[in-house]
Amino acid sequence: MRGDLRLLMAIVLIYPLCGIAQGVDGLISRLRAVECYNATVDFEVLMSLQDDVAYSVDLYSTDAGGDTLSPCDYLIRWTVPGAENRGAADGFSAYFDGNLFTFRGERMVERHFSVDPTPFLPSGTTPGAQRRTQFAELLPQFIADEIESMTADPAYRWHFCADTLVEGRRSVALTARLEINGEVSREVLYAFDRETCMPYYIATDNNPGALAEQSIVARYRDAQSPVECKALSDNELAGMYPEVFEKYRDNTFAIVNLPGQPLPRFALPTLTGERYTYLGTSQGFKSPTLVVLFEPESAFARSTIDGVRSAAMQLPYNADILWAAVSNDRDAVDALLPSDGMGETTLVSAKALARDCGTATFPVVIMVGTNGVVADVVVGYNNSLVSDVIQKAATLR
């Protein structure tokens, strides 16, 4: 196959210029020491039994700060050029702090170690989900893990060269061959820039010579859309992909983990046409505040409003209420809230605020202290709404 031919040609170039295998530990250390990484990879899969596939992959990673689940935090964005009319043409995966998000084909799956650690833990020889994410093996930190594993495995025959040429570029290179029962199962070539030790070319041949042979070639280049070097978070990711989080997020993980965190900043129109702006903890609130995210067309909208008002009247202190409708239908909101009560403000078009708080389930009552920090939340409507709000709002005083 074409991939096999490229790989063999590269190996021919390398071997005459290399001596004994040494310096692998130094390469691994350089790859693991990357604090912030951005690159774009042209990724080709060449198959004997199926059509070839090409991807454009944007890589971003940062140091994971000792996270035992992954060697780095990452955001991996991919597209299939020309596939817009042939199904899933793009997607992304992101991992940080025990949280894994994957979006493809109009479906987002999120996993959280604090909720269910099982997907993050290895099962036999199968690594956790955060380590087998598509294209994660292209990141420098994961390459370091792979090289360390290969060079420690007696089933691999490998060769390291500290100074050679691959595709006409001065390189640090490593080739490896996996043999099982005397048959070659896999051949791989890694080429790294001689100065930076960052990868720029990887060629892999799986099942060489077999009917199901598969060749993979990854060519690295400067990042097409680099990501600013800062820590990933739920809010950062939602800000990058607002439509995805609004349409396809189907759990309430983020909202139930909001207590103890600052209420996100927002600027929303009021029902009277003015604009209400909240600048975050630097501004805070003049009184303890109940932020109510609701859908005016919901059958529970009227009961939610009545229940929150009843709870607020029974609190041992004065609490303000922000009614934040996630709808743009002002008539529907006005029918429910024709006038604001004392300490009440009605806001509309609050989908972005709901997204930033991490919920697609309504109603939600968010209890916020005068310092702008969320004390607790009530998610969904039930017959105990009044008592739930009174109990959880008690900590606001």
The pLDDT of residue 12 is: 42
12 or 89, higher pLDDT: 89
Assign 160 a pLDDT band (cuts: 50, 70, 90). Answer: very high
Do 183 and 88 have their domain in common?
A: yes
pLDDT tens sequence across 291-308: 999 999 999 999 999 999
Q: Kindly indicate the confidence band of residue 162, based on its pLDDT and cuts at 50, 70 and 90.
A: very high
Task: Kindly state whether residue 47 falls inside one of the protein's structural domains.
Answer: yes
pLDDT at 4: 47
Q: Are 285 and 391 in contact (CB under 8 A)?
A: no
CATH number of the domain enclosing 70 = 2.50.20.10
Same domain membership, residue 369 and residue 322: yes
380 inside domain: yes
Together in a domain, 274 and 214: no
Phi, psi angle pair for 370, to nearest 5°:
-65, -20
What does the block give as tokens for 149? 């594993």
286 and 380: one domain? yes
Phi, psi of 268 (to 5 degrees): -130, 150
From the list 320, 311, 346, 316, the residue with the least C-alpha distance to 331 is 346
Last residue within a domain, chosen from 176, 201, 221: 221
What's CA 229's distance to the chain center, in Å?
Answer: 15
267 and 199 within one domain:
no
45 and 175 both lie in a single domain = yes
Q: Where does the pLDDT of residue 139 fall: very low under 50, low under 70, confident under 90, or very high at 90 and above?
A: very high
- Res. 255 pLDDT band, cuts 50 70 90: confident
pLDDT at 9: 46
| Region 322-337 average pLDDT | 95
Residue 122 confidence (pLDDT) above 80: yes
Q: Residue range 52-69: average pLDDT?
A: 94
Number of separate domains in the chain: 2
**Band (63; pLDDT cuts 50, 70, 90):** very high
- Is residue 244 a part of any domain in this protein? no
Three-state DSSP class for residue 332: helix
**pLDDT attached to residue 19:** 52
* Two tokens, residue 250: 């189907």
Q: 99-104 and 72-79: which strand pairing?
A: unpaired
Q: In the numeric block, which tokens belong to residue 225?
A: 């859309």
Q: Which residues have C-beta within 8 Å of that of residue 313, sequence separation ≥ 6?
A: none
Cβ-Cβ contacts under 8 Å for 50 (sequence gap 6 or more): none
Tell me which residue of 357, 370, 377 sits closest to 396, measured CA to CA: 370
| 3 has a pLDDT exceeding 50 | no
Total-model pTM: 0.75
Q: Reduce the DSSP state of residue 249 to 3 states and report it.
A: coil
Any domain includes 77: yes
Whether residue 227 lies inside any domain: the answer is: no
Please report the pLDDT score of residue 200 as a whole number. Answer: 97
Report if residue 245 sits inside a domain. Answer: no
Can you give the residue range of the structural domain that contains 47?
Answer: 2-221
* Mean of pLDDT values over 58-62: 98
Residues 312 and 207 occupy one common structural domain: no
Whether 292 and 323 have beta carbons less than 8 Å apart is answered as yes
Residues 6+ apart with CB under 8 A from 179: 155, 156, 157, 185
Q: Is the pLDDT of residue 348 over 80?
A: yes
Is there a contact between 326 and 394 (Cβ–Cβ < 8 Å)? no
